[in-house]
């Protein structure tokens, strides 16, 4: 099997990370992978925010916890109550991809960029996980000021966000659904 296929098959959502920060050249490789994703009519309609600052990571986590506790969803509220809860599993690097809502397919473009980053990370044996709650955070009142603090363009929406760091767990692939492919020849 070639290296690219091995990387695709080995990538898993990692939900426990070592505290040690990833190397600068590893971060740059992950980012380069992201911005080489395809985009509708090559708009590249994105802005990428990398957060590695502990205070800011804590602030984002606190805001997510508050949002989850007020969500009305008892499972989320219960989970977020615990002081040890980390929405990004204590990952040392958190990447937020925002996009221009006036672009043709910003949500798809930003999702493809994040998946490219996940695969680039896996090729370096770095773990990653999509973190959905943060994309909702920036539409709340508290989230709006945080968005400004993070330098995310005011007119952009946050479409995808992911945790990155050295893996502190191994995960196995969920079984694949069957009979979902129809090849017509």
Nearer to ligand FMN, 24 or 170 (CB): 170
Cβ-based neighbour number of residue 126 at 10 Å: 24
Nearer to ligand FMN, 9 or 23 (CB): 9
User: In the structure encoding, which two tokens stand for residue 34, read together?
Assistant: 């992201």
DSSP the chain: --HHHHHHHH--B---B-SSPPPHHHHHHHHHHHHTS--GGG---EEEEEE--HHHHHHHHHHHHHHHHTSS-HHHHHHHHSTT--TTTT-SEEEEEEE-TTSSSHHHHHHHHHHHHHHHHHHTTEEEEE--HHHHHTTSHHHHHHHHHTT--TTPEEEEEEEEEEBSS---PPPPPSS------
Nearer to ligand FMN, 75 or 151 (CB): 75
CB of 148 to ligand FMN, least distance (A): 23
Binding-residue total with ligand FMN (CB under 6 A): 11
CB of 6 to ligand FMN, least distance (A): 15
Nearer to ligand FMN, 133 or 146 (CB): 133
17/171 Cα distance (integer angstroms): 12
Per CB under 6 A, 130 contacts ligand FMN: yes
| Contact flags string 154-183 toward ligand FMN, x per CB under 6 A | -----------------x-xx---------
CB of 14 to ligand FMN, least distance (A): 8
Residue from 37, 113, 121, 129 binding ligand FMN (CB under 6 A):
129
Per CB under 6 A, 13 contacts ligand FMN: yes
Residue from 8, 15, 31, 76 binding ligand FMN (CB under 6 A):
15
Per CB under 6 A, 79 contacts ligand FMN: no
Point out which residues bind ligand FMN (CB under 6 A).
Answer: 12-13, 15, 129-133, 171, 173-174
């Amino acid at each position: 099997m070639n290296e690219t296929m091995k990387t695709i098959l080995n990538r898993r959502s990692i939900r426990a990370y070592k505290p040690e920060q990833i190397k600068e050249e590893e971060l740059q490789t992950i980012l380069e992978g992201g911005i080489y994703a395809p985009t509708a009519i090559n708009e590249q309609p994105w802005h990428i925010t990398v957060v590695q600052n502990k205070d800011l990571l804590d602030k984002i986590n606190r805001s997510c916890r508050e949002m989850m506790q007020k969500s009305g969803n008892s499972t989320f509220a219960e989970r977020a109550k615990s002081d040890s809860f980390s929405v990004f599993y204590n990952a040392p690097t958190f990447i937020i991809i925002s996009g221009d809502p006036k672009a043709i397919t910003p949500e798809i473009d930003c999702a493809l960029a994040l998946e490219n980053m996940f695969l680039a990370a896996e090729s370096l044996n770095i773990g990653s996980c999509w973190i959905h709650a943060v994309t909702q955070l920036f539409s709340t009142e508290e989230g709006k000021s945080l968005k400004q603090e993070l330098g995310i363009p005011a007119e952009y929406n946050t479409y995808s966000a992911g945790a990155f760091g050295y893996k502190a767990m191994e995960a196995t692939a969920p079984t694949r659904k069957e009979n979902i492919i129809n090849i017509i020849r």
